[in-house]
């Protein structure tokens, strides 16, 4: 082996890469027109009676690369049962107040990313690219990046629960 050659790690663990491929993702996927259409839809939703959705680059980039992908996962994961999830920001269309509340708690803006378990949990992303899941039991931290969050969901890793005073 050439000692000056740079070793690179794959972007995703093999199991995550396989699930992504099965869902329709490939390296270089970039559906920016769809992401911009979702951004427009979210920006127009809401109104004078409540908060509006926020749109920012980290969200649009995540939507462009992964938006529209559905993962039909079941069975045991490494720590938890794996569950189906969908990456589509329209899943949070009617949740701007919930996302605004989370954003205030985190001192950042938060946008919808998708859903878990056919709407039983809302996936969200913040301005720095951190990903969260919100369900009836609380708010959960899935990862510092969309890549980490996908690994958490696909592999059935245990997310970290957010506490008061995050």
Q: What is the pLDDT of residue 163?
A: 82
Q: What is the pLDDT of residues 48-91, one digit of tens each?
A: 677 889 999 999 999 999 999 999 999 999 999 999 999 999 99
User: Residue 117: phi, psi to the nearest 5?
Assistant: 50, 50
> Is the per-residue pLDDT at 113 higher than 70?
yes
Percent of the chain with pLDDT over 90: 86
Mean pLDDT of 109-136: 97
Q: In what order do the strands lie in the sheet with 85-86?
A: 70-71, 85-86, 110-116, 121-126, 131-135, 138-143, 160-161
Please, are residues 146 and 62 in contact by the beta-carbon 8 Å criterion? Answer: yes
Q: What is the pLDDT of residue 13?
A: 96
Where does the pLDDT of residue 22 fall: very low under 50, low under 70, confident under 90, or very high at 90 and above?
A: very high
Q: What is the pLDDT of residue 5?
A: 61
Q: What is the pLDDT of residue 48?
A: 64
**What rounded mean pLDDT belongs to the chain?**
93
Question: How many CA atoms are closer than 13 Å to the CA of 64, on its beta-carbon side?
Answer: 13
> Is the per-residue pLDDT at 8 higher than 90?
no
Closest C-alpha to 118, from 140, 158, 86? 86
Q: What is the pLDDT of residue 69?
A: 98
Mean pLDDT of 96-117: 96
Q: What is the pLDDT of residue 45?
A: 84
């Amino acid at each position: 082996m050439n000692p000056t050659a740079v070793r690179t790690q794959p972007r995703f663990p093999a199991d995550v890469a396989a699930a992504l491929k099965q869902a329709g993702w490939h390296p270089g996927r970039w559906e920016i027109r769809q992401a911009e259409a979702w951004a427009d839809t979210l920006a127009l939703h809401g109104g004078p009676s409540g908060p509006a959705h926020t749109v920012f680059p980290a969200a649009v980039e995540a939507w462009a690369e992964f938006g529209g992908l559905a993962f039909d996962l079941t069975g045991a994961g490494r720590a938890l049962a794996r569950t189906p999830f969908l990456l589509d920001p329209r899943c949070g269309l009617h949740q701007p107040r919930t996302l605004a509340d989370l954003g205030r708690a985190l001192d950042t803006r938060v946008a919808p990313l998708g859903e878990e378990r056919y709407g039983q949990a809302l996936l969200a992303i913040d301005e720095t690219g951190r990903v969260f899941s919100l369900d009836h039991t609380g708010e959960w931290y899935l990862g510092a990046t969309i890549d980490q969050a996908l690994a958490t969901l696909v592999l059935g890793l245990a997310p970290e629960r957010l506490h008061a005073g995050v």
